[in-house]
A and B are shown apart, each in its own frame.
Chain A
Amino acid sequence: DAGVIQSPRHEVTEMGQEVTLRCKPISGHDYLFWYRQTMMRGLELLIYFNNNVPIDDSGMPEDRFSAKMPNASFSTLKIQPSEPRDSAVYFCASSLWLTVKNTEAFFGQGTRLTVV
């Protein structure tokens, strides 16, 4: 398997524009996580899905952020409208629920978002 695949790797957009980040989890994994990483706040969990269903979105900072998982092999994180403070690296991760103790998360390479 190619691992967790994110696109684009880099995105530069103007304030107010809509941004869509994409993620393809590892085939067969049933959990998908979206994280945001900044120097100031480190890695923050935004939302996670189990079997395509959003389980916890309490980390989503504002209504401008939304995430979907229409099928087991694809998820999107959308920011509309984008603001400069949204600039960060956004990571997607997936895991396979073997047992609750043995669930290991695998991360994509991230999308570096810059909002100017």
Chain B
Amino acid sequence: KQEVTQIPAALSVPEGENLVLNCSFTDSAIYNLQWFRQDPGKGLTSLLLIQSSQREQTSGRLNASLDKSSGRSTLYIAASQPGDSATYLCALMDSSYKLIFGSGTRLLVRP
């Protein structure tokens, strides 16, 4: 059974710092991996999608990488800002076309 783990569960950093969020999965038979952002009381906003054949995707200050062989993905946030404070979730599409979520990393960027 596919399991998705996100470490750390919570992270607090000062503004301007570069940071890395981690996502690991147990079964490498995935089609893609998506990173989402969720603000308190809100829905999920898709940030980046990495296809299984890709190594990384970039959007602005965000860079997501994927290493299927080791079962890992990272989300790199450059020059963090207080507006980046949110919960970040990774989700992967498994071999049965289900989107399986990790439990998220709650990020606080302090001014």
Q: Which residues of A contact B (CB under 8 A)?
A: 31, 33, 35, 42-43, 45, 48, 55-56, 91, 93, 100-110, 112
Contact = CB atoms under 8 A, between A and B. Distances in A.
Nearest to A109: B43
Contact of B101 (A43, A55, A100, A108): A43
A56 B98 contact: yes
B28 interface: no
Contacts of B101: 35, 42-43
Contacts of B34: 104-105
B43 A107 contact: yes
B107 interface: no
Contacts of B93: 100, 103
B89 interface: yes
Interface string B86-107: 0001010100111111111000
Contacts of A100: 31-32, 93, 97
B31 to A, nearest CB: 5
Contacts of A93: 44, 99
B98 A48 contact: yes
A31 B96 CA distance: 13
Contacts of B97: 31, 48, 55, 100
A101 B99 contact: no
Given A42-B101, A45-B99, 10 more contacts: A31-B97, A33-B99, A43-B91, A56-B96, A91-B44, A101-B31, A101-B32, A101-B53, A106-B46, A107-B46
Contacts of B103: 42
B51 interface: yes
Contacts of A91: 43-44
B53 A42 contact: no
A35 B52 CA distance: 23
Contacts of B96: 56
A108 B96 CA distance: 23
B75 interface: no
Contact of B52 (A31, A55, A101, A105): A101
